[in-house]
Structure 1
Amino acid sequence: MLEPVQENPFPDSHTLGEGPGPHPQLEPVLPLLGRWHGRGRGEYPTLEQDFAYEQEVSFSHDGRPFLRYEARAWLIDGSGKAVRPAGREAGWWRVMPDASLEVVLTHATGIVEVLVGRVAGEEIELETVDVARTPLAKEVTGTRRRYSMREDELMSVQEMAAVGQPMQHHLAARLRRA
């Protein structure tokens, strides 16, 4: 006979008042915890035109020294109406005792990135050190990401090297705590 399913005793926490308390190593990234929502603009030389997008990002923890990360975006038209889904990624941000970061991101498009970086006050910088791709995934050789935390605002800028192009600006967004 099967045992009854029990509620998960270790839920991820989106706020400091839910679930287990944060691991002490998470101190430099605690302001990221929760859900963020906002808009951004993107461009790249291989695209016919610049684009506007809306994005939702969430960071949570389960008491261990890493963050669970998930982001989804959708293209929007000039009036702000959703046109179609865009980028989707999920992963883990490991926070080391010296405030350095090791990040693993998986993209729905068949790309896996390993990034390293550092938290310095309200600024976070990450850079790709390795990329794996499925056979039909677009060629992406690296990204650089910068996050700035200011009270209830999270700004992100992403550069990308892909499809034969050198590292250059790709995305910029301004998100507010949801």
Structure 2
Amino acid sequence: MPGPTNAAPDSPRRNRPRFDDLPVPDDTANLREGPSLHDQCLGLLPLVGVWRGAGESVYPTIEGPYTFGQQIVFAHDGRPFLSYESRSWLLGPDGEIIRAAARETGFWRPQPDGELEVILTHASGITEIFYGRARNLTSWEIETDAVVRTSSAKDVTASHRLYGLVEGGDLAYVDERAMMGQQLQPHLSARLSRIAG
């Protein structure tokens, strides 16, 4: 997997693009701006921000491995959940951008008992419901309870993800998947640096 990009030096002053004319509070990926983080989300506080970097995809049914760039945004509007958005793009051997790739959107919903509910929808026609918990103050583990697919989506039956802050403050994750008749095994991994928040 390629090394991380450097965190933006002005990241504490940056935020995700926002619409200031919304009649309700817009999401913020910067804890210094907008509404206060809901108390129920305090265990997810280290995730709030905009993260960008690179990763690698491997799987027996996919030609590769291949390298991708990715941006993940964890934001909030003061209510007891974080909004989540991921965009990725395929990278060539010299780091050149080949084309847009996977997209996900969803919500991380911490519960009063410490359980974490995560709902993710992929542009490829898959929706996943995960349950999990914080492993400690800087890592979170989730696994699917349900996977729903459209008729045109890949045959994905399960996913397990581990997210964590690593040395240097970067966000790293590993995504294991059971799909296309294969057992649960590593599929994606990435290391992302904070660019805003």
Do they fold alike, i.e. is TM over 0.5? yes
Structure 2 segments unaligned to the other structure (5+ residues) = 1-20
Partner of 1:47: 62
RCO higher in 1 or 2 (8 Å CA, sep ≥ 6)? 2
Q: What code does the residue aligned with 1:167 have? A: L
**Which deviates further from its counterpart, 149-158 or 120-129?**
149-158
Structure 1 segments unaligned to the other structure (5+ residues) = 1-5
Matches within 5 A, 1:125-144: 125-144=141-160
Partner of 1:119: 134
Matches within 5 A, 1:99-110: 99-110=114-125
Partner of 1:88: 103
Cα deviation, 1:31-60, whole Å, max 9, x if unaligned, reads 111100001111000012210010000000
Cα deviation, 1:87-143, whole Å, max 9, x if unaligned, reads 100000101123321011000000000000101221100101101111111110011
> How large is the Cα RMSD of the aligned pairs?
1.1
Q: What code does the residue aligned with 1:162 have? A: M
Cα deviation, 1:150-175, whole Å, max 9, x if unaligned, reads 36310000000001000001011000
> How far apart, CA to CA, are the structure 1 residues paired with 2:27 and 2:87?
18
- Residue 164 (structure 1) aligned with residue 188 (structure 2): no
Q: What code does the residue aligned with 2:127 have? A: V
Aligned residues: percent identity?
46
> How far apart, CA to CA, are the structure 2 residues paired with 1:137 and 1:42?
18
- TM (normalized to structure 2)? 0.85
Which aligned runs of 4 or more in structure 1 are off by greater than 2 angstroms?
Answer: 6-9
Partner of 1:30: 45
